[in-house]
Structure 1
Amino acid sequence: MATALITHADGLDHVTPSGHPERVARLEHVLHALQPLELQRVTAREASEEELLRCHPQTYIDRVRNAVPERGQHQLDSDTWLSPGSFRAASRAAGGACQAVDMVLGGEVANVFCATRPPGHHAERETPMGFCLFGTAAIAAKHALEHHGLSRVAVVDFDVHHGNGTQDLLWDEARALFITSQQMPLWPGSGAPEQRGAHDNVMNLPLPPETGGAEMKARYEAEAFPRLRAFDPELLIISAGFDAHQDDPLANLNWTVEDFRWITEQLCQIAQASAAGGRVVSTLEGGYDLAGLSASAKAHVEVLMEAGA
């Protein structure tokens, strides 16, 4: 079995204003870092309306589409911008994640990394925010549940910012387990342990500023991994944000490249030992120090390749 890389040049056409941290160079650097690796390279498709509608109402989809400017940039909130190529880029991020689900569940590959942008885990049902337009990981989870008929899908989010959008979109979904670690306090301010989901299907692991790899590993081993094993997922989706890296400018955790390698190894081992049979879909979220992002993403994908060999 192989590891697939799903991406599309449309991700480079989502252009934010000069100085914005979620910029074209992020995807360029990730793709450059992955270039030497022997991956099955696949062109991301756009999401269908049906796929988007599993998480977002038509009024929201139309509002985002209609807000796309003919030229320049349009600001949706203090952090989130649109350019002429933004809707296609976000659609390919969501569609590529659904495509990844199709590939792993169809037995074409062992696992997939989706190198797309904009990220998705802050987009709530009717609210774009935090650089995000559509809830990519949640849309992929719903696709696995509704289109493929799975009974248990887990989403693990190790981005430094709380995946409030994924939490919102999966809050009422008893067939999905959402586990997320995040620095706290930090934007967007959600992610307290008391936020447990409508079916006790959400686990939040807030980490104090300056948390390093040793503390992170202890929390995951004591809390997150036992819960994930008990859930016995049929598919594991990873929201792979690399902004917990010690050099990231938007947060204050102290993870290293080797910490991202470790957590990926552990998640792949759990996926292999569970009903998922090693089936993992990973989608790029944050990471704003270009060197830390590219090195961490490469380590993450190298582990996926080792697990899928």
Structure 2
Amino acid sequence: MTTRLYEHQVFLAHHVPEGHPERPDRLRALNAALEHPHFSTLDRQEAPVANEDAVLLAHPEEHLFSVMRSMPEEGVKQIEADTHASPESLKAALTAIGGAMAGVDDVFAGKADNVFVAGRPPGHHAEHDKVMGFCFFNTVAIAARHAQKTYGVERVAIVDFDVHHGNGTQDIFWNDPSVLFCSTHQMPLYPGTGAKDETGAHDTIVNAPLSPNSAGDHFREAMKSRVLPALENFRPDFLLISAGFDAHHRDPLAQINLVGDDFDWITGRLMEIAGKYAGNRLVSVLEGGYDLEGLAESAGLHIARLMRG
């Protein structure tokens, strides 16, 4: 398998207040893990900066303008309850989008079988017209729309295994039968959405909530009983992953007890789906993961599995 990773120094320049969990050290920890020799063949590339118009693939113009107006010229500014911005935050968000869109281009051009975007800020809480939960723009939603618009993809599947429900992605695709959104997440937990009966207008929303203190066996059963069958039934032409690693047992923001092998396992199963229906075309985008050791371990295993197939 050919795996490409997109990264950029600007991701470290998106500053947040001292003690905020979504901090630049997250990527420093991942970069340290990627120095291991078994990542020597990973195709590491600088992510391009997306044009601001790319945001309009999934958000209205007023949302883009609102975010642009909210950016500070200096220091760190609170945008909403959990979301902060610094002078380079807009560029960082656009670069995460640029990496995801480039990843879509790569897998459809045959330049890579799969792609991981090691960017921040995350995106899956950003709703159609709302900044929320550390997220300005919904990166995976924009990537999905880019695949549809540029390559005529008929069926896109998005799998979100972040411990927090991807309310923004669900909101954007609620009425869209061409996009399947599947999520495992702790419930109850922020943002409060993601019940099993939230199925979308066309039954293309599949939520598999996990109770606090669930472990790997519960996670795997949720995937086997709800998510993987939905993917088999949908037969996606392209697969996107909202790869949050905050369901790791070390993470401070939730109470799900996954270990590295659980992330390795689900990565392999999703690669099987991509191989069966989508010509291996898979793009994974970093979302959460706030314990540095847990993030480095689980994201490292995720990327290693993408590399070896």
Aligned to 2:229: 226
Where structure 2 has 5 or more consecutive residues not aligned to the other structure, the ranges are none
The structure 2 residue matched to 1:116, chosen from 115, 119, 123, is 119
Partner Cα distance (1:113, 1:97) in 2: 8
- Could you tell me which residue of structure 2 aligns to residue 272 of structure 1? 275
Q: Is the 8 A contact 1:31 1:115 kept in 2?
A: no
Q: Pick from 288, 296, 299: which aligns with 1:294?
A: 296
C-alpha separation in 2, matches of 1:5 and 1:78: 31
Structure 1 gap segments, 5+ residues each: none
> Retained in 2: the 8 A contact 1:104–1:111?
yes
- String of CA shifts for 1:226-263, please: whole Å, max 9, x gaps: 11011111111000000000010000000001111111
Look up the equivalent residue of 1:13 and give its one-letter code: A
Partner Cα distance (1:35, 1:177) in 2: 35
Q: Say yes or no: does 1:3 pair with 2:33.
A: no
- Residue aligned with 2:151, SS: coil
TM-score (norm 1): 0.97
How far apart in 1 are the matches of 2:53 and 2:93?
Answer: 15
Distance in 2 (alpha carbons) for counterparts of 1:35 and 1:164: 34
State whether residues 184 and 222 of structure 2, in contact with CA within 8 Å, keep that contact through their aligned partners in structure 1: no
TM (normalized to structure 2)? 0.97
User: What secondary structure does 1:41 align onto?
Assistant: strand
- The amino acid of 2:42's aligned partner reads L
Are 1:189 and 2:228 matched, yes or no? no
Q: Distance in 2 between matches of 1:103 and 1:27?
A: 23
- Percentage identity across aligned positions? 49
Report the equivalent of 2:286: 284
Q: Which amino acid aligns with 1:25?
A: D
Q: In 1, Cα distance between the equivalents of 2:49 and 2:128?
A: 19
Deviation at 1:95, TM superposition (A): 1.4
Distance 2:76 2:31 in 1: 25
Corresponding letter in the other structure for 1:19: G
Cα distance in 1 between the residues matched to 2:198 and 2:66: 29
Give the whole-Å Cα distance in 1 for the aligned partners of 2:27 and 2:129: 26
Paired residues, number: 306
In structure 2, the residue matched to 1:165 is 168
Describe how 1:1-309 pairs up with structure 2 within 5 A.
1-36=1-36, 37=39, 38-274=41-277, 276-307=278-309
Deviations 1:111-142 (A, max 9, x none): 00000000000001111110001100111011
User: What is the CA distance between 1:156 and its match in structure 2?
Assistant: 0.1
Please tell me the residue identity of whatever aligns with 1:296.
S
Cα distance in structure 2, aligned partners of 1:135 and 1:94: 8
Aligned-pair Cα RMSD in Å:
0.9
